Structures are given as C-alpha cells and as structure tokens.
Chains A and B, each alone.
Chain A
Amino acid sequence: MMNIPCPFCGPRNEAEFAFGGPVKPRRPDPNATSDDEWADYLTQVPNPLGPVEERWWHVKGCGTWLSIWRDTRTHDIVEGPGNAD
C-alpha cells in the first residue's frame, strides 16, 4: 500500500486515489515528425522498469489531479507530487 502525497491534503492512503495512467510524452508536431515516430506516440505507453511519471486523481479526497514519479520495482515514490493539469 502506498502513501501518496497529495499537495492539498498531505500523505494519504492509496485507496483514496484513482490511477490516471503514466504521463505521456508531449504531443509531437505531426507535420515535423516521421510516420514511425507518430505511430510510436499514438500507440506506445511508457512502461519502464524503474521510475515512471504517473497521474493520480484524489477522487475520494479533495479531487486534485497530481503526478508523481513511482519506481515500478519497489513502489517507492521517488519524486512528487507535481501538478498534472
């Protein structure tokens, strides 16, 4: 069980949050990128063995969307929260 640091409420139990998926890379300019890079952007979801930036919604709390860096090997929150807006 993770203790996720909400910027408004402070550290809260993971059960109060809904997972919003990994933060995707910034949308490339479709006119300045190759077809392969564009297809990668559309279809590939970040799934590293290690730290990944994720969005979480404090749905049973204050309603804030936030982003944290979570290590997928240990569930340690290595950085965060950031503003996911």
Chain B
Amino acid sequence: MTPVVKGSDPDMPYDARIDRLPIYALFDLKGPKEALAAWSKDTLEFPNGPSRLKRRGSAALCHIGPNRWLLRDDLQNEAALSETLRPQDAPAEISIVRVSDTQTFFRITGPDALEVMSIGCTLDLHATVFGPDAVSYTEFFGIKALVLRCEGGFECAVEQSFGNMIEDFLTRAMA
C-alpha cells in the first residue's frame, strides 16, 4: 500500500497518515495466566488488567479476553518465540497457536488520527478513556478488529482477508 498522507492531496480533510504494516509474529494464548506463565518459564510479562497490553522491547502482550492473550512481536522473532513457547507441546489446560498470517495491521498516525478512527470505530478512543496501554477488540468499519495505541496514533488489525477492504475504506475516509 502506498501510504495515504494528507500532503499528497491538499484537499484531504484530515491531517493523518495511513500505513499498511508488514506481517507480525502473533501467538494466540489461551488458558489460566499462572499456567501460561509457568509454561513460558516466566518469559511472558502479563499486563495489569483487562484490555491492557504490556510492551517489552519489540513484543507486546495484549489481554484481549477472559483467559486470553495475544502476543505480538516482529516477524524475525517468530522462530525464537516458537522455540520458547513450544505450541505443539503445550499441556491440555492451555492453548498456544501461531496466527501470524491471519491478521493485517494498519497504522493511522497524525494530528487527526482520532478523527479518522472515529469514522469506522464506535469505541471511545479519547486518551482519557483509551490510554497508551489500552487494547481491545471492537468494531471497525463493521467488522471485528483489534485496536491499540501507538506513537502518534493508533494501530488496528483485521482478519487478513478483509485487509484490502479496510485499506479501501480508510483511503476513502481520508479522501
């Protein structure tokens, strides 16, 4: 995707930039927190509460549901994470599934990032409600999407087959 930037068209109503991001390493973790921590030999740093994330280096662990977390890291760390988490050997009480190629991420940054997000998202994303460590699945242009904050704006992830559609919607929203 060619980044959509206000500067490319002076008539654009929003001062924001939209980028389609490369694939991340993603692991879907389910089960009791204590069991996951023990299985990962305490290499996972869990966030403080529901709909929160904890960053460590390039990795972010997102608490996305009851007894459910999503671990995101750069793609080059996928093999190392697989080796640490050993999804194929996980005990019955937990589930670890590599889902790296199932999600397409977009980054919306700039002074009007909140306005652009508000076109497609019903969630209150104001900084007083949706803080820097907030993360949540919600509705984005009518489909389920993961929304989190990043430096200067927001990132959102949708199921990869919706990637082109959301790219089109975001481009139109900026037009």
Residue B100 CB within 8 A of the other chain: no
Kindly provide the distance from the CB of A47 to the nearest chain B CB, expressed in whole angstroms.
28
- Chain B CB within 10 A, most for which of A12, A59, A61, A63: A61
Question: B residues within 8 A CB of A61?
Answer: 65, 136-138, 144
Residue contact A64 to B50, C-beta cutoff 8 Å: no
Chain B contact residues: over half helix, strand or loop, or mixed? strand
Q: Which residues of A, 1-47, contact B by the 8 Å Cβ criterion? A: 8-10, 12-13, 15-16
User: In the complex the two chains form, is B138's CB within 8 Å of A60's CB?
Assistant: yes
**Given A8-B50, A59-B144, do A64 and B65 touch, yes or no (CB 8 Å)?**
yes
User: Interface SS of chain A: helix, strand, loop or mixed?
Assistant: loop
Establish whether residues B66 and A64, one from each chain, have CB atoms under 8 Å apart when the complex forms.
Answer: yes
Query: Nearest A residue to B140 by beta-carbon distance?
Result: A60
Docked-complex contact B66 and A60, CB < 8 angstroms: no
In the assembled complex, the CB of B115 is this many whole angstroms from the nearest CB of chain A, namely 18
Is B68 an interface residue, CB under 8 A from the partner? yes
Is there an interface contact between B139 and A15, defined as CB atoms closer than 8 Å? yes
10 A-B pairs closest in CB distance: A62-B65, A13-B122, A60-B144, A60-B139, A61-B137, A8-B50, A63-B65, A16-B139, A15-B139, A8-B66
A-B contact pairs, 30 of them (CB 8 A): A8-B50, A8-B51, A8-B65, A8-B66, A9-B50, A9-B136, A12-B123, A12-B138, A13-B122, A13-B123, A15-B122, A15-B139, A16-B122, A16-B138, A59-B144, A60-B137, A60-B139, A60-B143, A60-B144, A61-B65, A61-B136, A61-B138, A62-B50, A62-B64, A62-B65, A62-B136, A62-B137, A63-B65, A63-B66, A64-B65
